[in-house]
Amino acid sequence: MNKDTRLVTAGRKPDENFGIVNPPVYHASTITYPTVAAMEKAKENRYESVYYGRYGTPTTFAFEEAVAALEGGEKTIAVPSGMAAIAGPLLALLKAGDHVLMVDNTYHPTRHFCDGVLADFGVETTYYDPMIDGGIADLIRPQTKVVFVEAPGSQTFEVQDIPAIAEQAHKAGATVIMDNTWSAGYFFQPFERGVDISVQAATKYIVGHSDAMLGVITTSRELFPVIKARTVGIGYSAAPDDCYLGLRGLRTLAPRMARHQETGLKVAHWLETRPEVAEVRHPAFPSCPGHEIWKRDFTGSSSLFSVLLNDYSKKGVAAMLDGLELHAMGASWGGYESLIVPIDPSNSRSATRWQHAGPAVRIHCGLEDADDLIADLEKGFERLTAAA
Ligand SMILES: *Cc1c(COP(=O)(O)O)cnc(C)c1O
């Protein structure tokens, strides 16, 4: 079955729900059993079946099944946010004295988690250059339990050679965790490239409508019990209403991603022609570090990219952004609406240096008409140059 078909069919069980196509929103804390024997049986496979509300309800399980189909993994765990999806497997696999290799261009709060929570618990983090490839071997120590990858990287979009990194990590017995949010799991199949655990902020493209917060952790069958035990053990429980919205988002993910891709490329190509722009940082552009790897490993691009501007003042950038009508200033991308935010990647790097001296913005192209978005940005550039 093709991926687009799996996205529409996975997790559907109308025969269990009066023929209704979508699973109902099951709210549950208490789940009752008719006999001691039935309760004991449920307890035995409590990671597989309903035992008590925190483990999930049939709404959660339907969503999890569909995400596993999307990512090409065996099991998925829904958690209350993307950040929870990142923290969960790290807390499950690391203990005091362990070492984690974290990519330098990771999502900033992930860095914060390593430097804060993990450091407090006696876990050491080393940041590495996203373009390190097989050179990661030199940084792996006997204590290295996790190698964390994110491709393309947050804000700056370098594309890592995940198969090369995974090969070295696996030789040393380390687990490879990937933040796969940018591709929505739609343009990158992590388990075919050596990833052991793929996490996503489902908040972004999967939910897709800028309303629910949700995270997903997809694993192999072997790693699942360890991760599930820890995520349940620290109290993560995704709300059934949010899982319902996540599942609904998945049903339209394929056409939304196709449109996001098309609009993103059209706007990015137009931006590249502008005299105000020094560089468009987009994995589909040959100037993007790792572009060849993106071509080899990804089947497309989402609509989040950055624009490095020439040497304009902060005031000029503010004038440009403040007057935009279709690009709201907001951080949580992946919804139907376009967004723009000023970025300064130099604050989120320690193993590498951010080279661009001028200002930069990150753009998320929503589902509006691409020409309208371009017209909005064109007026923005007029304000930028007038203020400079
Ligand atoms: C937004 C984001 C997250 C965090 O997701 P939340 O649902 O907001 O917690 C994690 N990783 C990446 C790459 C993100 O962009």
- Whether ligand 1 lies within 6 angstroms of the CB of 207 is answered as no
What is the Å distance from ligand 1's center to 189 Cα? 19
Q: In tens digits, what is the pLDDT along the chain, a chain of 388 residues?
A: 899 999 999 999 999 999 999 999 999 998 888 998 888 887 776 555 556 888 899 999 999 999 999 999 999 999 999 999 999 999 999 999 999 999 999 999 999 999 999 999 999 999 999 999 999 999 999 999 999 999 999 999 999 999 999 999 999 999 999 999 999 999 999 999 999 999 999 999 999 999 999 999 999 999 999 999 999 999 999 999 999 999 999 999 999 999 999 999 999 999 999 999 999 999 999 999 999 999 999 999 999 999 999 999 999 999 999 999 999 999 999 999 999 999 999 989 999 999 999 999 999 999 999 999 999 999 999 999 999 6
Residues 1-79+201-251, CATH architecture: 3-Layer(aba) Sandwich (3.40)
Whether the CB of 213 sits within 6 Å of ligand 1: yes
Would you say the CATH fold of 253-387 matches that of 1-79+201-251?
no
Q: Which residues, in sequence order, are bridge partners of residue 103?
A: 128
What are the extents of the domains in the chain?
1-79+201-251, 82-185, 253-387
- Position 214: which residue type? L
Alpha-carbon gap, residue 362 to 375, rounded angstroms: 17
Q: Helices 82-93 and 224-233 meet at what angle, rounded to 10?
A: 110
CA of 116 to the centre of ligand 1 (A): 17
In short, whether 348's Cβ falls inside 6 Å of ligand 1 is no
Beta carbon of 178 within 6 Å of any ligand 1 atom: no
Ligand 1 atom 4: residue of nearest CA: 82
Is the C-beta atom of 81 inside 6 A of ligand 1? yes
Q: How far is the CA of 177 from the centre of ligand 1 (A)?
A: 15
**Nearest-atom index, ligand 1, CA of 81:** 7
CATH code of domain 253-387: 3.90.1150.10
**Using a 6 Å cutoff on CB, does residue 339 contact ligand 1?**
no
Cα-Cα-Cα-Cα dihedral sign, residues 173, 177, 183, 187: positive
* Nearest alpha carbon, ligand 1 atom 2: 201
Domain 82-185 has CATH 3.30.300.30: no
Mutate to test the pocket of ligand 1, among 86, 105, 107, 210 (most ligand atoms within 8 A of CB): 107
Tell me, in angstroms, the distance from the centre of ligand 1 to residue 199's CA: 10
Angle at 211 between CA 208 and CA 214, to 5 degrees: 75
**How remote is the CA of residue 335 from the centroid of ligand 1, in Å?**
13
Residue 158 in contact with ligand 1 by CB distance below 6 A: no
Cβ atoms of 73 and 218 closer than 8 Å: yes
Predicted TM-score of the model (pTM): 0.97
